Amino acid sequence: MASFEQYKDKNGDKRWKFQAYLGINPETGKPVKTTRRNFKTQREAKLALATLQSNFENELSKKEKPKKYKEVYDSWMVEYEKTVRGSTLLKTKRIFKNHILDQLGEMYISEITPLKIQELMNYWAAKYTTASKMMNYTGLVFKYAVRFGLIDRNPVDSILKPKAKKTKKQDEAFYDKDELKLFLDILYKYSNLKVQAYFRLLAMTGMRKQEANALEWKDVDFKKQTVNIEKAVSRSATGLHISETKNKGSNRIISIDMATLEKLKEWKLDNKPLSDEWLIFGKAESVRPHDIMSLDTSRKWLLTIQDEMDKASDKPMHRITTHGFRHTHASLLVEMGASLKDIQYRLGHTDIQTTMNVYSHVSKSAKEKLANKFNEFIDF
């Protein structure tokens, strides 16, 4: 839309000018208008306007060039990697590489519909128990695209996520009191002192294996019967490192029972560390204070012990992971009546909601006791 007008310049000569609307600036959202003057003829003015409009549209097309999901992901990752720890960053990149980019990477982000995302959600849900988590990560890139005006809405917000099926593994992600006693009996019978101290410490404190693997001897106060948890092993693209704990709430000093302290003392006498700066559970035959043990080593130890548990029970026992000892400790704290605040501090949860979720995983024994108490209460 343009208007042309003839006028006289300061010398009295006839000239042409125009006012024109070129379009919307995509960066500001405001209309772009221009006025040009001093043309000898109307035809010259119209040619100048045509050139202006062509140049504006060319620049606009460059700025609005459709972006593929992978391109937006790359921009988002530059921002995201500054906000998380190395281990989290590595896991995130693996999820995108192994699942998300393979499905969406080459698609233009503006053409990815909620229907396409729903189909992908259904596909993942049929194959992976972590499907919802994968979709949450997928949505972060769309959210970034919305923020910068590449798309109008996040298609992930429109889909339905199938309810995760509760598996037997989820139901039995921890040991009850009797199972833990059997585990410790087998542990002391078939494992060396390092393995004994390691799993006893996990079971009796609920600390994460990443925290246990980063402990130095100076972190254990044998007189005060406490352990200071302020470090954790994290994994990045370059390997294992000792860094900060998962979050601020994870930094804590917690009490240790005497039997666990005695087991640690036994291991220290056997291990003969050169100083209290050495890792308690460092790599076998460490030559440096901070030779970090692989995070997979404890899993190998655990499988060997669980095989012996099967033999001792004359039947296959359900299997838990190393992280399952954290759930075991939490469920036993619930069973003994510990307060939410005490459990939150001991486990190093920043968010009380995380601690409240523990109550949905109480041990079988606690559930049975609750039923028995109710029966006694009503007395009929």
Q: What is the mean pLDDT of residues 302-315?
A: 93
Tell me the sheet residues that pair with 227. Answer: 220, 254
Instruction: State the pTM of this model.
Output: 0.64
Q: Looking at residue 371, what is its pLDDT?
A: 62
Q: Looking at residue 244, what is its pLDDT?
A: 83
Lowest mean pLDDT among 107-116, 315-324, 343-352: 343-352
Question: Has residue 104 got a pLDDT over 70?
Answer: yes
Lowest mean pLDDT among 56-70, 198-212, 304-318: 56-70
Are 146 and 154 in contact by the 8 Å Cβ rule? The answer is yes
Are 166 and 198 in contact by the 8 Å Cβ rule? The answer is no
Of 1 and 30, the one with more pLDDT = 30
Q: Looking at residue 113, what is its pLDDT?
A: 95
- Tokens read off for 298: 């404890």
Q: Looking at residue 168, what is its pLDDT?
A: 47
Q: What is the mean pLDDT of residues 82-105?
A: 90
What gap in Å lies between CA 92 and CA 90, rounded to an integer?
5
Lowest mean pLDDT among 91-105, 214-228, 352-366: 352-366
- Tokens read off for 234: 């994290």
Q: What is the mean pLDDT of residues 192-199?
A: 97
pLDDT bracket for residue 62 (50, 70, 90): low
Q: Please write down the long-range contacts of 105-109, taking CB distance under 8 Å and 24 or more positions apart.
A: 105/68, 105/69, 105/70, 105/73, 106/68, 106/69, 106/70, 107/68, 107/69, 108/66, 108/67, 108/68, 108/69, 109/66, 109/67, 109/68, 109/69, 109/71, 109/72, 109/141, 109/142, 109/145, 109/150, 109/151
**pLDDT tens-digit readout, 199-237:** 999 999 999 999 999 999 999 999 999 999 999 998 877
**pLDDT tens-digit readout, 172-183:** 588 988 999 999
Q: Looking at residue 273, what is its pLDDT?
A: 93
